[in-house]
Amino acid sequence: MVADLIEKVLAGEPRAVARAISRIENHSTEAAAIMKAVFPRAGRATVIGITGAPGAGKSSLVDKLALRYKENGEKVGIVCIDPSSPFSGGAILGDRIRMSALGTQPNIFIRSMATRGNLGGLSRATVDAVTILDAAGFDKVIVETVGVGQDEVEIVKTADVSVVVLVPGMGDDIQAIKAGIMEIGDVFVINKADREGVLRTQKELEALLSLAHRPDMWNPPIVKTIATESQGIQDLATAIDAYYSFQNEADSGRERRKAIARWRLLELLQERLLSDLLRQNGTSEKLERLAVEVAEKRCDPYSAVDDLVRKAAS
Amino acid sequence: MVADLIEKVLAGEPRAVARAISRIENHSTEAAAIMKAVFPRAGRATVIGITGAPGAGKSSLVDKLALRYKENGEKVGIVCIDPSSPFSGGAILGDRIRMSALGTQPNIFIRSMATRGNLGGLSRATVDAVTILDAAGFDKVIVETVGVGQDEVEIVKTADVSVVVLVPGMGDDIQAIKAGIMEIGDVFVINKADREGVLRTQKELEALLSLAHRPDMWNPPIVKTIATESQGIQDLATAIDAYYSFQNEADSGRERRKAIARWRLLELLQERLLSDLLRQNGTSEKLERLAVEVAEKRCDPYSAVDDLVRKAAS
């Protein structure tokens, strides 16, 4: 069963790819087998992370970029990070509509990944999904995030090339988001470049970039686009290629890959240690009991954790 | 030393509070002792989470709300979540300026918490900081987030009352953020309510809220504010009080506190298990070695984690 699924994934069958990603998302017992099998086959795709504030037009930009790659004869995978409702876990309606529109394009695979429950693991699941798409023969894998939170920043950091999308007239917003994402941008886009204030936003951005210190000495280009009218898309593709070549040759590329691998191991290790602990006899029940005690202030969380870890060790 | 610090925290000394929060942020060995001591003394503060897209004017709103509480003779603690640079870990300049302005107000304590490194733990550290402020006698603790990522959503979920801030004319942005934060809002604010499009935003918001299902049957109020002109701030304070009273009486309040305690235990447990493992002889070195192997595709991450966990068990 798993062997069959893996074979189809490696052959690039979209439905098998979708199924494999679901296994990862749901922490299926088959997840480890799938990842062990696909991992050695991955590494050829260019992984592009795209982030920016809500309303910057990232979705249109991603769509147009994907279509451009497709026109060049490339296969494109898109993974959308959906900071979905922590309660319902539902996907965004607009996203579903979009998926059915783009998804009918041959050689474009689009998948929305929603966070489920409280345990996190989204970052790791996303990186695994990218590896699956890579192994399935997609030439470009685009990871698109909605928010600018820490999770999103970490996901985008695992990409080969990180693109940060801004819009003119953000004013204070550039200040607000700069600390979060300014330093992770390898390429900057000012989208909706027919709006007023482009020049000002560009000048502010240049000023901020001139202050930033990049250990790899790369000077991030600023690309102006109007995604809805398909303007500037080729410029963006060119800028992405340029950074990809640059970092592949630089020593910093190797350092970056090591840092990503390390982060990935730590994420996976945390998940694994916790699930091993909770699988032990009585630990889950004890956790529930202690949660009530902590909620009622009869026990502090640190002592409760001492208790859970001690129980496991004994 | 720690006993002295704890005593001063419980006496409400701002500098001791700041120092205690730093200990938590830096994963100091004293962190557990501090938390065990302050935890039983916490539980009297109203914890208010404030989130929304960048540019919605959250900072001004928080400032004005804090001043209002202060005028009522209350002590206010503010914790700002700063999705800071993953590389430099630096705080936002504007934030530092703001802190020195508000921070000179007696009875207002403001603290920016930045993410450091890759290991996360921001959410847990923030919740611990809130507990410290609570135990130190702050009547209101406001947690303000910049982004709308999963981390931010989880932090805001731990508040007693969650406030979501929107601005008129967001259009598509409401769609974009709705899945992430719509369901966590106990109170909604339309800030910058002198702008065009207030009515449309309000209607869209009402339509979305009418679709949402809240297990506690609370009907989230929509408050219009112009924070920069101090308009609507009392309405906001009243709405926050109303939900606080409501949920304290409802059964859902108890359920919510249990869910928060459970999440907090899991976060802490993951951190603890990982740090216990990495403290074992040779494990850190092995992690570094395996990170290189994974980066060079000589080993897949799942097998590497098997290896790390097995080593620890033997």
Q: Please answer yes or no on whether B84 and A180 come within 8 Å at the CB atom.
A: yes
Chain B residues with CB-CB distance to A151 below 8 A = 149-151
Question: SS3 breakdown of chain B: % helix, strand, coil, rounded to 5?
Answer: 55, 15, 30
The CA R_g of chain A, rounded to the nearest whole Å, is 21
Beta bridge pairs of residue B112: B80
pLDDT of residue B92: 44
Q: Is the model's pLDDT at A89 over the cut of 70?
A: no
- The total of structural domains in chain A comes to 2
C-alpha distance from A10 to closest chain B C-alpha (Å): 16
Identify whether residues A244 and A296 lie together within a single domain. Answer: no
b/e map of B140-166 (b: 16 or more CB within 10 Å)?
A: bbbbbbbbbbbbbbbbbbbbbbbbbbb
On whether both A201 and A292 belong to a single domain, the answer is no
The most confident of A84-98, B78-92, B155-169, by mean pLDDT: B155-169
Greatest mean pLDDT among A57-61, B156-160, B203-207 lies in A57-61
Query: Is A187 an 8 Å CB contact of chain B?
Result: no
In whole angstroms, give the CA distance from residue B19 to residue B25. Answer: 10
Using a CB-CB cut-off of 8 Å, the residues of chain A touching B313 are none
Task: Kindly report the nearest CA distance between residue A279 and chain B, in angstroms.
Answer: 14
C-alpha to C-alpha distance for B225 and A131, rounded to whole angstroms: 46
What pLDDT is attached to residue A45?
94
CATH number at residue B120: 3.40.50.300
| DSSP 8-state assignment for residue B61 | H
CA quadruple A261, A264, A268, A271: dihedral sign = positive
Q: Is the pLDDT of residue A119 over 60?
A: no
Position B149 scores a pLDDT of: 59
| Cα→Cα distances B223→A70, B117, B144, B156, B179, Å | 47, 38, 18, 19, 20
> Taking the model in full, what pTM does it have?
0.69
List chain A residues with CB under 8 Å of B248: none
Kindly state whether residue B167 falls inside one of the protein's structural domains: yes
Task: Say how many CB pairs under 8 Å bridge A and B.
Answer: 267
Torsion of CA B225, B227, B231, B232, to 10 degrees: 40
For residue B196, tell me if it sits in a domain.
Answer: yes
pLDDT on residue B117: 41
Q: Within this chain, do residues A215 and A294 fall inside the same structural domain, yes or no?
A: no
Q: How far apart are CA B150 and CA B171, in angstroms?
A: 22
> 1-40 in A: which are within 8 Å (CB) of B?
32, 35-36, 39-40
Residues B232 and B184 in one domain: yes
pLDDT band at A233 (very low <50, low <70, confident <90, very high): very high
Within a domain: residue A115? yes
Instruction: With respect to residue A126, please indicate whether it lies within any of the assigned structural domains.
Output: yes
Residue B132 has what pLDDT? 96
pLDDT at res. A132: 96
Residue A1, pLDDT > 90, answer: no
**What pLDDT shows up at residue B119?**
43
pLDDT of A183 reads 66
Same-domain status, B107 and B186? yes
Which of B148, B146, B152, B169 is CA-nearest to residue B62? B146
Which of the pair, A158 or B291, is modelled with greater confidence? B291
H, E, C per residue of chain A: CHHHHHHHHHCCCHHHHHHHHHHHHCCCCCHHHHHHHHHHHCCCCEEEEEEECCCCCHHHHHHHHHHHHHHCCCCEEEEEEECCCCCCCCCCHHHHHHHHHHCCCCCEEEEEEECCCCCCCHHHHHHHHHHHHHHCCCCEEEEEECCCCHHHHHHHHCCCEEEEEECCCCCHHHHHHHHHHHHHCCEEEECCCCCCCHHHHHHHHHHHHHHCCCCCCCCCCEEECEHHHCECHHHHHHHHHHHHHHHHHCHHHHHHHHHHHHHHHHHHHHHHHHHHHHHCCCHHHHHHHHHHHHHCCCCCHHHHHHHHHHHHHC
Could you say which residues from 123 to 182 on chain A have a Cβ atom under 8 Å away from some Cβ of chain B? 145-154, 157, 170-173, 175-182
More confident site: A265 or B181 = A265
pLDDT digits (tens, 9 = 90+) for B213-268: 676 778 899 999 999 999 999 999 999 999 999 988 877 778 878 887 888 888 88
My answer on whether B239 and B292 are in the same domain is no
Residues 6+ apart with CB under 8 A from B248: none
Backbone angles phi, psi at A197, to 5 degrees: 95, 10
The mean pLDDT of B158-175, rounded to a whole number, is 74
Give CA torsion, residues A19, A23, A26, A27, to 10 deg: -170
Half-sphere exposure of A148 (CA within 13 A, CB side): 36
Looking at mean pLDDT, say which of A109-113, B186-190, B254-258 comes out highest: B186-190
Whether residue B308 lies within 8 A of chain A, CB to CB, comes out as: yes
Average pLDDT, chain A: 82
Same domain, B63 and B174: yes
Cross-chain Cβ contact B83/A180 below 8 Å: yes
Alpha carbon distances (Å) from B151 to A9, A302, B91: 32, 21, 18
Which of the two residues, A24 and B179, has the higher pLDDT score? Answer: A24
- The mean pLDDT of A136-161, rounded to a whole number, is 79
- C-alpha distances in Å from residue B146, one per residue of A244, B84, B150, B156: 30, 10, 12, 11
Does residue B298 lie within any of the structural domains?
yes
* Residue A245 and residue A284 in one domain: no
Distance CA A291, CA A287 (A): 6
**Dihedral-angle region of residue A283 (phi above 0 means left; psi in -120 to 50 means alpha; beta otherwise):** alpha
Least confident segment among A129-143, A234-248, B112-126 = B112-126
What is the percent of chain B with per-residue pLDDT over 90, rounded to a whole number?
39
Assign A212 a pLDDT band (cuts: 50, 70, 90): low
Whether A176 and A297 share a structural domain: no
Using 50, 70 and 90 to split pLDDT, how confident is the model at B85? very low
C-beta atoms of A309 and B179 within 8 A: no
Same domain assignment for residues B196 and B285: no
Residue type, A21: I
Please indicate, yes or no, whether residues B291 and B228 belong to a single structural domain of this protein: no
Average pLDDT over chain B, rounded to an integer: 82
**Closest alpha carbon within chain A to B88:** A183
Please identify, among A233, A252, A271, the residue that sits at the C-terminal boundary of a domain: A252
* Residue at which a domain ends, from B236, B251, B266: B251
**Cross-chain residue pair A268–B301, CB shorter than 8 Å:** yes
- Residue B240 is assigned to a structural domain of this protein: yes
Write out residues 201-240 of B within 8 Å (CB-CB) of A: none
The candidate with the shortest Cα–Cα distance to A162, out of A209, A88, A82, A220, is A220
| Same domain for B145 and B293 | no
CB contact under 8 A, B149 and A149: yes
A234 pLDDT tier (thresholds 50, 70, 90):
very high
Write out pLDDT tens, residues A8-43.
Answer: 999 999 999 999 999 988 878 898 899 999 998 998
Say if A150 falls within a structural domain: yes
Average pLDDT over residues A77-96: 55
A149: in domain: yes
Compute the distance between CA of residue B280 and CA of residue B252 in angstroms, rounded to an integer: 42
Structural domain that includes position B300: 280-313
pLDDT surpassing 60 at residue A86: no
**Highest averaged pLDDT of the listed ranges A5-14, A99-108, B181-190:** A5-14
Pairwise pLDDT comparison (B32 vs A311), residue with the higher score: B32
Whether pLDDT at A223 is above 80: yes
The pLDDT value given to residue B147: 59
Q: How far apart are CA A92 and CA A85, in angstroms?
A: 9
